[in-house]
Amino acid sequence: MTLFEYEAQMYAWRLKDIDEQEKIHLQAWANQTVQATKKKGKEQVSVYKNFKDFFDKEKFINELTNKKKEVNPRLKRLAGIAKQANERR
């Protein structure tokens, strides 16, 4: 597996993890809408107006895609060693 393939699989895993978090938050949202209220004047209103206020999936995906890649020095060194090994063949 190349470094690119590994990074692609890790990216896919992170997206899958965000989907899993969304499922968890959606269940919590369903529970919250039934139970959580705050007092506004004399009436009780929900704490969150919509699901996006509770869990913003786009925000997490944007953080993942816009995250500046920090190159791990150890991985960089290993990639250099692999490149040299491939050039010798």
**Considering just the CA atoms, what is the radius of gyration of the chain in Å?**
22
Closest CA to 69 of 14, 21, 1, 7: 7
Residue 78, token pair as written in the block: 């290993």
pLDDT tens, residue by residue, 31-82: 877 676 666 777 766 667 777 877 788 888 888 888 766 667 887 788 888 8
For residue 16, pLDDT over 90 is answered with yes
